[in-house]
């Protein structure tokens, strides 16, 4: 097994991981990230690995994201911010989702809350679309930024198109205040063409590797592009951004370009 601790400590550039689920990572990850140059993270609300039974359970999760996690991160010099929502998987339960959406506003003014996310689609169902649009409505009413999860694998292209159509269908949505995340080679262009930010999620093996992300930068440029690890409790690696930095250097990209992609844009 490659030792990613060793591999990833020589990035020597400050960076921000704008999509990582630290509640499911151990404290040693904060240590490794801080050593590798991580100065801030943003943590979208997501699925816990099981469907939660009540809105109170989400209220506790939002307290976890806004109270405990920023303190844990601060011990390693990392600034922690977050996004709030009920994720696409649990959005299949419309009644529960509406209850959760009704409690979000009282958390929005807490320090470190960046906006509504990661909302989006999982299996591209009607219920997911209903709750996606209700989250967008909340974000518009409260003037919050939006972070969008796009489905994986076979559902990705169709789901991304559906999301872009829903967002473009509402004239009040300002594309530059929305990130379409987990883009791949076939979905990055529609997201950028519509004026949205595009997030490249770096996975250790399958899906988008750091090298494939560099390919995308070379094809589509750097404007409105960010990169993240989306580290969570599944196979993922919080050290993927340092790996991305090294992959960019190896391909001859200058420090200003790298700084823009991993720090300034985030």
Pure H helices in 80-233: 94-103, 105-108, 126-142, 156-168, 188-193, 210-220
Asked if residues 16 and 262 have their Cβ atoms less than 8 Å apart, the reply is: yes
Site string for Zn ion, 228-247 (x = CB under 5 A): --x-----------------
Residue 127 C-beta: closest distance to Zn ion, Å: 20
* 190 to 88, 208, 241: CA distances (angstroms): 21, 17, 24
By C-beta, is 213 or 258 nearer to Zn ion? 213
The residue among 139 and 230 lying less far from Zn ion, judged by its C-beta, is: 230
Q: Which of residues 190-219 bind Zn ion (CB under 5 A)?
A: none
Stretch that binds Zn ion, among 30-38, 47-55, 121-129, 225-233 (CB under 5 A): 225-233
Of 46 and 58, the one with the shorter C-beta distance to Zn ion is 46
Best CA proximity match to 65, nearest among 88, 99, 41: 41
Smallest gap from residue 38 Cβ to Zn ion (A): 17
Q: Minimal distance in Å, beta carbon 252 to Zn ion? A: 31
Minimum CB distance to Zn ion, residue 19 (Å): 6
42 with 114: CB under 8 angstroms? yes
- Please say which residue, 70 or 258, places its beta carbon nearer to Zn ion: 70
Count of residues that bind Zn ion according to CB under 5 A: 2
> Closest approach of Cβ 118 to Zn ion, in Å?
5
Q: Which is nearer to Zn ion, 46 or 203 (CB)?
A: 46
120 near 159, Cβ under 8 Å? yes
Q: CB of 209: closest distance to Zn ion in angstroms?
A: 18
From the list 187-195, 210-218, 226-234, 247-255, the region that binds Zn ion by CB under 5 A is: 226-234
Count CA atoms within 13 Å of residue 13 on its CB side. Answer: 24
What lies within 8 Å, CB to CB, of 180 at 6+ separation is: 148, 150, 160, 163, 164, 187, 191, 196, 197, 198, 199
Beta strands in the chain (DSSP E): 15-17, 38-44, 79-84, 113-120, 145-149, 178-180, 197-201, 225-228
Contact positions with Zn ion (CB under 5 A) in 128-187: none
Residue number with CB closer to Zn ion (148 or 258): 148
Site for Zn ion in 22-61 (CB under 5 A): 46
Nearest partner of 172 among 210, 205, 208, 136, judged by Cα: 136
Question: Where does this chain bind Zn ion (CB under 5 A)?
Answer: 46, 230
């Amino acid at each position: 097994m490659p030792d990613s601790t060793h591999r990833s400590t020589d990035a020597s550039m400050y960076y921000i991981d704008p999509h990582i689920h630290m509640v499911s990572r151990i404290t040693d990850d904060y240590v490794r990230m801080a050593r590798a140059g991580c100065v801030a993270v943003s943590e979208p609300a997501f699925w816990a690995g099981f469907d939660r039974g009540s809105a109170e359970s989400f209220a506790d999760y939002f307290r976890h994201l806004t109270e405990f996690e920023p303190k844990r991160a601060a011990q390693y010099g990392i600034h922690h911010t977050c996004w709030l929502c009920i994720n696409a998987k649990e959005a299949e339960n419309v009644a529960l989702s509406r209850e959760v959406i009704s409690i979000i506003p009282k958390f929005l003014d807490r320090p470190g809350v960046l906006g509504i996310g990661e909302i989006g689609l999982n299996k591209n169902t009607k219920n997911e679309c209903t709750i996606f649009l209700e989250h967008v409505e909340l974000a518009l009413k409260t003037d919050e930024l939006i972070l969008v999860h796009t489905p994986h694998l076979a559902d990705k292209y169709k789901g991304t198109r559906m999301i872009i159509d829903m967002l473009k269908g509402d004239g009040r949505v300002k594309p530059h205040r929305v990130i379409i995340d987990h883009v791949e080679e076939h979905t990055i262009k529609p997201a950028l063409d519509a004026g949205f930010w595009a997030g490249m999620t770096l996975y250790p093996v399958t899906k988008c590797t750091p090298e494939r992300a560099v390919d995308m930068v070379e094809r589509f440029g750097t404007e409105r592009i960010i990169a993240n690890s989306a580290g969570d409790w599944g196979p993922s690696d919080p050290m993927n951004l340092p790996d991305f930095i090294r992959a960019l250097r190896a391909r001859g990209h200058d420090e200003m370009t790298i700084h823009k992609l991993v720090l300034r844009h985030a």
